[in-house]
Amino acid sequence: MVTFTRRRLAAVALVATTALLGATACGGGDDEAAAGGPVTLTVDVFGQFGYEELYKEYMAGHPDVKIVERGTGSNLDEYSPKLTQWLAAGKGAGDIVAIEEGLLVEYKANPQNFVNLLDHGAADLKGNFLDWKWNQGLTADGKQLIGLGTDVGGMAMCYRKDLFAKAGLPTDREAVSKLWPTWADYIRVGEQFKAKNTGASFLDAATNTFNTILLQTAGNTTGYSYYDTSDKLVVDSNPAVRQAYDTTMDIIDSGLSGRYGSWSEEWVSAFKQSKFATIACPAWMTGVIEGNAGAGAKGNWDIAQVPGNGGNWGGSFLAVPKQGRHQAEAIELAKFLTSAKGQIGAFKAKGPLPSSPQALADPAIVESTNAYFSAAPVGKIFAEGAKSLKPVYMGPKNQAVRTEVENAVRTVELGKRSPEQGWTDAVENAKKAAAK
């Protein structure tokens, strides 16, 4: 064995001390602002928010601000536990964080984690947002504004023209929209498609379609889905839920689903290998489709109207956590990103539909087309219905409950449960999840 000489010991001690000091120094935080250097603002997002160009523009106008975005492309399941941990730990969250509407209800229950934007002049911005979008960002007592709205999830149906042609169906978007005024028609078209054996399924996954139908049905009838407006769990008594479930069962029963678990690697592969012909697409999904299917499929995709009548799935908010060091700068940036101009920029980059009426009316949106989707007039398709979107109320444990119901749909889709067993599971597990 090597004996430790004094010098060597000293060296080891030095290394150890430096390591320890280094570790503590990490907690020390940055004093860039004090030093006169630029302030670094971190923006945490998931999926595709399309802010890159906006950052560049903002930084050009604010030389003292540097913007770093984290989490682009990550899915909500990866993002939300991280955000919650950061908030719980009081450290680690970005200066601005994106929050999806389904999760906002949980964060709203603990508003002390966020800056009250009403204290920073946000009240003047009320007119820049659709009323319900603005109200969603407020706490129950209306005294604190947690987040400023980014996008809303106006609904359409994206489809593959090449596969439709192969199955002898019309490919023109007007004609396709006429094929399916209702979900029953959608199933009928699906059966025609299936009969032609194109080697592809009619749709990607029943869970996606289920969400679309549920939020559409709920928006058109009760205005709430799993929870009623007094936060009582109504998964088994809300007719909208049961109706959406039954329609989805019909789709599964007709064997139209490719059974690719949404957001899984197989789902992404299925996009690349053209394994399904349609996917329910909220506006933000167009960015996801382009990302997954890749440049090779450009021009094969197109967008038609969604069966049923409109609907709204998803949409996010930007919030400023209280733990941030540069709150004032962060609030300014959040205001910029959610301004009509910011929302138009994001829409052009990645397709999330604005929640600002000014942006929705802007020619830049109304007249916009999407080259990837065969130059579909996305502005017209999505923006037209956006102003009349009916919001769906979401209760405190919405995400956990939704997960259980989606899972039940998935078990039926995979043939592991009968539709009735699946429903029993959904209700039972949803109750359990809500109680946790």
Applying CB under 8 A, which residues contact another protein?
A: 75, 77, 80-81, 84-85, 87-88, 106-107, 109-110, 112-113, 207, 260-267, 269-270, 273, 275, 397, 399-400, 403, 406-408, 410-411, 414, 416, 433, 436
Residue with smaller CB distance to another protein, 394 or 408: 408
Q: How far is the CB of 353 from another protein (least distance, A)?
A: 22
Q: How far is the CB of 433 from another protein (least distance, A)?
A: 7
Q: How far is the CB of 24 from another protein (least distance, A)?
A: 13
Residue with smaller CB distance to another protein, 181 or 199: 199
Residue with smaller CB distance to another protein, 63 or 436: 436
What values do phi and psi take at 433, rounded to 5?
-65, -40
Residue with smaller CB distance to another protein, 160 or 259: 259
Q: How far is the CB of 259 from another protein (least distance, A)?
A: 8
Q: Is 168 exposed, middle or buried (0-12, 13-18, 19+ CB in 10 A)?
A: exposed
Q: How far is the CB of 261 from another protein (least distance, A)?
A: 4
Q: Could you say which DSSP state residue 370 is in?
A: B
Phi-psi region of 368 (alpha: psi -120 to 50; beta: other; left: phi over 0): beta
- C-beta atoms surrounding 281 within 10 Å: 28
E-strand spans in 54-164?
65-70, 96-100, 147-149, 151-152, 155-160
- C-beta atoms surrounding 263 within 10 Å: 18
Residue with smaller CB distance to another protein, 147 or 379: 147
Alpha helices by DSSP H, listed for 27-89, are 32-35, 52-61, 76-89
Q: How far is the CB of 177 from another protein (least distance, A)?
A: 28
Q: Could you say which DSSP state residue 273 is in?
A: T
**Are 87 and 113 a contacting pair, CB within 8 Å?**
yes
Show the CA angle centred on residue 94, arms to residues 88 and 95, nearest 5°.
110
Residue with smaller CB distance to another protein, 204 or 302: 204
**Are 47 and 289 a contacting pair, CB within 8 Å?**
no
